[in-house]
Every structure is written in C-alpha cells, then in structure tokens.
A and B are shown apart, each in its own frame.
Chain A
Amino acid sequence: MRDPTRIIDDRDEANGLGRDLLRAGRGQTLSARDRAQVWAELSATLVAPAASAAASAGATKALTSASLLKGVVVAVALSGGALVGVRAARRPAPEVVPVVVTEPSRAAPAIEPPPPVTSPTPAPDRAPHVRRAPAAGEEAAVPRLPASRLAAEAQLVLDARRDLREGNPASALRRLETARPELVGGALAQEREALTIEALDRSGQTEAAARRARAFLRAYPRSPHAASVSTFARDR
C-alpha cells in the first residue's frame, strides 16, 4: 500500500484553503525565547540532582566538565524568564542519571542570537521517510485567507481568550459584544458565542449565560464547543 497524496501536495484548486490552513499548522513553532527558557529550566532540573549526587559521592571531578558548567551558566543566565523558576522547584526530582547537558544551538539567545525558527528537521537516525521540501512556488503562493474581516474575527477570538485567561471576563464580554454586529454569520461565530457564554458566567451573569448556552445547544447541538457550553446551561 502506498501513502495517499497529502492535501498540502494536492494542487487541486478546491483544496486551496485547506492547504493554507495546514501550512499554517506546519509553521507553528515555539518562540525562540520560550524555546530557550524551557531548555534553561530543563537543564537546571537535570543538573541539580546530578551535581548533588556527585558531591555526596565525592565524584565532583566527573561532573565539573566544561559542558556541565556551560549548562548551569545558561540555566542561571536565563532563569529570569517568565517560564522559568518556581515550577522547577515543585516538580519531583527526576531519576538521577549522570548527564552531560550541553545547550542546543538555538537555546541561548543571550550568547548567540538564534536564526529564524524553522520547521524541525528530521533526526539523523530517522527512518527512510524524509520531511518534504516545500514545492516550487509554494512559499510565494498568494494567500487566499484570511480576508481582513476574517483576520479581525480571529484576532478578536484570540484577544477574548486572553482576557478570560487573565481573569478579565468583563473585557472579553465588551470586546465580543461590541464586535458582534459587524461579524454576524462569521466563520468563527460558534467560537465567539461560546466565549461570550463563558464570559457572562464568569462575570456573574449566570442566568444570561445559561439562557444563551441553551440557545447555543439548540442551534449547534453537534458543535465542538457543545460539551464545554453545556456546563453553563444548567440552572443554578
């Protein structure tokens, strides 16, 4: 059996939007800063127990290699970042295995600015399949989406989610309701309504949230958001 042609390789015009979306999914990468910060915390977590074990065994010589020190220095240098710090202390210590931690080439922006982040490359020991190179002209393809309205709608959804995550349902509600008249029938209508319901509930308007949740479930019973919306639909 042969693998079928991937949608992204299918030149059928009808798949244009699908190709654009999948290309965006492939281009989704961690920011260079987060990449470096996560590595710094990981290094610190790995180095601490290893160093401790070595000290107690009187075997410090083996662990004071340049590589290990480099890992510690990088971890300390980067430990002021948002993702680094207290979480490492909460986590149970991993099994102690002597380890030499060297920094990945893109993990230390303070030392060397990282190159633009690209899709991950295959491991050298990876089996025969090799990730495809972009087809000729693929990068230059004229974007089909989004229209500016759709971009605005997607940005609204992202902003409202951020408001909710930051504990500011009133701001989310204000954004969503203000934009509603301009976005009637938009492609992300279900997502906007689900966020509105959550914002209503979290801002104390539980009856309104329940009413709209029930209306949502009647209108979109098979929505991917139905499960989460149903938690707001009950009478409380």
Chain B
Amino acid sequence: MTLAEIYDQHVDFVWRCLRRQGVPPDDAADAIQEVFLAVHRTLKTFEGRSALPTWLFTICRSVARDRRERAHRRHEVPSAERLGDVDERADASARLEHNARLSLLETILSAMEPDLRDVFVLYEIEDMTGEEIGQALSVPLGTVYSRLQVARAAFKREVVRIEAAEARAEERIEGRPMTRAGGRA
C-alpha cells in the first residue's frame, strides 16, 4: 500500500484520533503530517501483524503525547477549543444540528478518564473490535471489555442528564409569558 492510499483512506481517522487525544484544531494539520511522516518512515517495517488503523492509532497517540510535552515545556496554555470544526454541509440547519451533536458528544467524552475514553471511542465511534483495541492499547481483551462497560455506563448517564436538563429548560420556556412582539419575555 502506498502512502497516498493510506492517507486517502485513513486521514479522517487520524484526524479524529489526534483531536480526541487533545491536539487542538490549530495544531491538527501539523500533527497529521507528523503522523504520516512517521508512517512514511516506518511503512516498510510494518509487517501487518495488526490492522492498519490499530497501527495508526498508536502513532497518533505517540505524536499527540510528544506535542503535549513540547507544549508543556514551552509553558503553552492548552486551548479551550475542542470540537470547533465547522461542518461543511450546505444546509445551515443540518450544520447546526451536526455541530450541536458534536459539541454534546465532546462534552461527554471530555468528562471520561482518558483510558476509558480511548476504549469507548475506538469501539463505539471508530468501530474497532475488542481485539484490535487490545492490540492498540497493549491491554488484554478482558481489560478492554471492563473499561468499555464503565465508559458506556458513564456515557449513558450523561445522555440521560442532558435529556433531563433539556426537558426542564423546554418546560421553563413554554411556561414563560409571551411579549407583545410575540417573543418570549
């Protein structure tokens, strides 16, 4: 497989992994290149003992960690920005909905312990198998499953909390008197 083919098929995966490993959006382009430069350097030694996404994930994690350490040494303040990426959907309403969901998803993921979040994201979003995740994180399959169970419980709890908060807010808005102009007071 050539570098171009790997880039074409996996750059979105690499980008998502980097972002969820804490690489700020402003640094994402540089970080993606670091990952693919590493792929280029080591592709000949990649023996296919693990799936390509598994291998790419380990590189992403290493690149993200190095960048965090470099930023720390430079005393940079971590960006508060997380999922501010603008979706390119033509329909403004669809874009708003998509971005709202991404924002909520990221809010929930950011509350998880990193070990739990890695397993949850790779399994539930990146669709990797338990075995692949075990290889990527160098942990036994049983550990993958137990982390997944805890992460899923946390995810579901947060979803319920958000739904309840939304329902309460909607009730408050509906109970508010209308102004003469027709808007809510």
Contact A41:B128 (CB < 8 A) given known A25-B105, A46-B40, A106-B8: no
Question: Would A154 and B30 count as touching, CB distance under 8 A?
Answer: no
B124 contact from A8, A42, A45, A152, Cβ within 8 A: A8
Question: Would B13 and A188 count as touching, CB distance under 8 A?
Answer: no
Count of CB-CB pairs between chains A and B under 8 Å: 230
Question: Would B80 and A164 count as touching, CB distance under 8 A?
Answer: yes
Q: Which residue of A lies closest to B104 (CB)?
A: A21
The answer to whether the Cβ of A195 comes within 8 Å of any Cβ in the partner chain is: yes
Tell me the bound Cα distance from A145 to B169 in angstroms: 14
Q: Which of A134-189 contact B (CB under 8 A)?
A: 143, 145-147, 149-155, 157-158, 161-162, 164-165, 182-189
The answer to whether the Cβ of A11 comes within 8 Å of any Cβ in the partner chain is: no
Question: Would A29 and B12 count as touching, CB distance under 8 A?
Answer: yes
The answer to whether the Cβ of A35 comes within 8 Å of any Cβ in the partner chain is: yes
The answer to whether the Cβ of A219 comes within 8 Å of any Cβ in the partner chain is: no
Which residues on the B side are within 8 Å of A18 (C-beta)?
155-156, 159
B100 contact from A25, A27, A97, A155, Cβ within 8 A: A155
Which residues on the B side are within 8 Å of A101 (C-beta)?
3-4
B-binding segment of A54-62, A117-125, A205-213: A117-125
The answer to whether the Cβ of B9 comes within 8 Å of any Cβ in the partner chain is: yes
Tell me the bound Cα distance from A228 to B81 in angstroms: 12
Question: Would A25 and B102 count as touching, CB distance under 8 A?
Answer: yes
Indicate the size class of the contact surface on chain B.
Answer: 35 or more
Question: Would B80 and A94 count as touching, CB distance under 8 A?
Answer: no
B41 contact from A95, A124, A143, A184, Cβ within 8 A: A95
Q: Which residue of A lies closest to B185 (CB)?
A: A181
Tell me how far the C-beta of A203 lies from the nearest C-beta in chain B, rounded to whole angstroms. Answer: 14
Question: Would A21 and B12 count as touching, CB distance under 8 A?
Answer: no
- Nearest 10 pairs between A and B by C-beta? A104-B8, A154-B100, A24-B101, A224-B111, A146-B100, A154-B103, A123-B52, A151-B96, A83-B29, A21-B105
Please name 11 pairs of A and B residues whose Cβ atoms are closer than 8 Å in the assembled complex, sorted by A.
A4-B145, A15-B159, A24-B101, A25-B16, A26-B125, A91-B33, A107-B4, A150-B104, A154-B96, A154-B100, A184-B172
B interface residues with partner A (beta carbon < 8 Å): 1-13, 15-16, 26, 29-30, 32-33, 36-37, 40-41, 48, 50-53, 77-86, 88, 93, 96-105, 107-108, 110-111, 121, 123-125, 127-130, 132, 141-142, 145, 148, 152, 155-156, 159, 162-163, 165-166, 168-170, 172-173, 184
Known: A24-B98, A145-B97, A185-B168; 12 extra A-B contacts, CB below 8 A, are A4-B145, A22-B125, A45-B37, A120-B13, A129-B128, A129-B132, A145-B100, A182-B184, A194-B80, A224-B110, A228-B78, A231-B77
